[in-house]
Structure 1
């Protein structure tokens, strides 16, 4: 990556004439957390993991070029970076080239879908899902795709997006012997005088098999609504996902990597795709340099799409914390959280039990 950055900085004087902006943010902190799994055969606790973490730091370039009075070219190259040297790459985040005019905006590249954009209800800085709405926002993604956004009319705008089958499954692009996995997304947004409503939908072709072995499409729908003005933010959201993940994948969002119960994996017998509904509400208010925040989330039981069996029980999550702004660009973040997954969760070997996680983080956020 270093050689790319050298080239980018070398080219900055020439790029300045083409309306190029360099931007980014660094987010890091110290986090501590513990997971407890309890069942009929007793309980197990993880060690209290205390570590320096990176919270999705990023760096990018974006720009535009006027082609005519009604048309301009737009582009962006953004990448995930890490202050703890955990991950790096080039164009790993939203990166694209496209055209924008009175007709709207048309782009192609590595682009977030509507669900990935619907994250204003999740103001937290975290690398552990207990400390933020990682479970609620898990269905958002970023794919090689083409996306069209309409212009805003009377407060409304919409978008549609397609990621072709051969981008979704490149190993099969020359043979097409496997079922297609094309991804389709759509979104609708409204905002006026601080009030907002957002709808997002995602459909992925042939992502799970029914009881007869036939492939079925996965579906996700999400609704957000709230108010964001005059230093106050209140947002509430709900979503339903069917076939988006297996029970094993879903339970992994709550364990932070601690998946052992009595020496056996708690993820061994939940390979069936699940259907699950969850909801969240967040409120923040800024008093000068201080902004307290609170989030509550609830998820109903995750059940197998074919069997109807309860695989992962309902969950409840509470996050408390705040933001202290040292300047326009730099702020400190504190958060404390607890999440509990109900006692009917299938663990292993016929056992059922609950999962609890407690965590806290103190971090620093700088924008440039």
Structure 2
């Protein structure tokens, strides 16, 4: 393990002088919405939410014709309260990394979305909105869709539309704990060509991480049946082992299969209708859920879009999920065994 850490430190140090000459670009996203949220029980209120809004800095530097250095620093910003993500003194809470790229592909080190997380992309019709699929796929301690600390990742070149991504997270926290299995691995095979975009991913995390041992498989695809209509599909299976003292009942509750189908129809080049249905099937009885969401999105121009979504999440007796929990600042809890619904009017401005 020490040899791995030394190699990572040496690699990062070698890249830093090149970054000093990089051209830095500032970018970001302002994504806010007004939402009427109803948990099906006692809660029924209007909220204003900031939805994964962010500010970032990125750049690259061509070292020679065959090699370049690149970096990114990204921070989540809450546009409804003016604070950052979590501790207001934090910086670089989102995808932050440094790397080298060339004909061999790209290698990067830092904290960023795992290949497993990115693999939902082809089917991700309602990302960072009410109705986001992560409200079913990212449940409890078995959840994935993470950006891991202390990660090194290799991305292959593109081969006829295919590429592969392999990421290895050395540990959580500032340093490796002696005699602990606290690493994780995430891999994905991606394809984009013609009418088809698809991803297949696998991720496994060892027992001594913060939420225990778990592994999962994910597949997502989008296929353009016509220039105007796109069909999407998604499947995920997660097996949760937890810690040595985790009960069998909890393991069954968090181990699950989740799948769904959806579609997007472009009325015009700037306006689209979207819909998706998803279901979560737990290994334990009484912990299943279904979610459906419909929406319309209109691009005012290349940078600004507005949308309206309506989502419903129907819980089994022992589950209290809601279609608005993930990637948003307005996150009231769901109610046990109830049908939660949300109506959202949103604005997204990318710069």
SS in 2 for 1:310: coil
Cα shift readout 1:39-79 (whole Å, capped 9, x = no counterpart)? xxxxxx12202111001111111111111111100111111
Give ranges in structure 2 of 5+ residues lacking alignment.
Answer: 1-18, 139-143, 321-335
3-state SS in 1 of match to 2:206: strand
Q: Where do residues 316-335 of structure 1 align in structure 2 (5 Å cutoff)?
A: 316-335=290-309
Q: Which of the numbers 222, 230, 234 marks the counterpart of 1:233? A: 230
Verify the 8 A CA contact 1:163 1:183 in the aligned structure 2: yes
CA distance in 2, matches of 1:55, 1:297: 21
SS of aligned partner of 1:92: coil
- Structure 2 contact 21–61 (Cα < 8 Å) conserved: no
Q: TM-score, normalised by structure 1?
A: 0.74
Q: 1:298 aligns with which of 256, 279, 284?
A: 279
Distance in 1, Cα, partners of 2:236 & 2:249: 22
**Structure 1: how far apart are the matches of 2:174 and 2:49?**
33
Q: Counterpart in 2 of 1:201?
A: 202
How many matched pairs?
A: 298
- Aligned Cα root-mean-square deviation (Å): 2.8
Deviations 1:115-166 (A, max 9, x none): 22123322325565xx2212345221101200000001111110111111xx
1:337-356 → structure 2 map (5 Å cutoff)? 337-343=311-317, 345=318, 354-356=337-339
- How far apart are the structure 1 equivalents of 2:319 and 2:234? 27
SS in 2 for 1:280: strand
Q: Deviations over 1:163-208 (max 9, x none)?
A: 11xx32558x3543xx412111111011211312211111001269
Q: TM-score, with normalisation over the residues of structure 2?
A: 0.77
Structure of greater Rg: 1
Deviation at 1:339, TM superposition (A): 1.1
Provide the C-alpha distance between the structure 1 equivalents of 2:32 and 2:312, rounded to a whole number of angstroms: 21
- Aligned-partner Cα distance in 2 for 1:346–1:319: 19
Asked if structure 2 preserves the Cα contact closer than 8 Å seen for 1:23 and 1:59, the reply is yes
Over 3 Å counting, the alpha-carbon distance change for 1:195 and 1:346 in structure 2 is: closer
Structure 1 residues 271 and 296, CA gap change in structure 2 (3 angstroms): same
Q: Map 1:41-56 onto structure 2 (within 5 A).
A: 45-56=41-52
Counterpart position of 2:72: 76
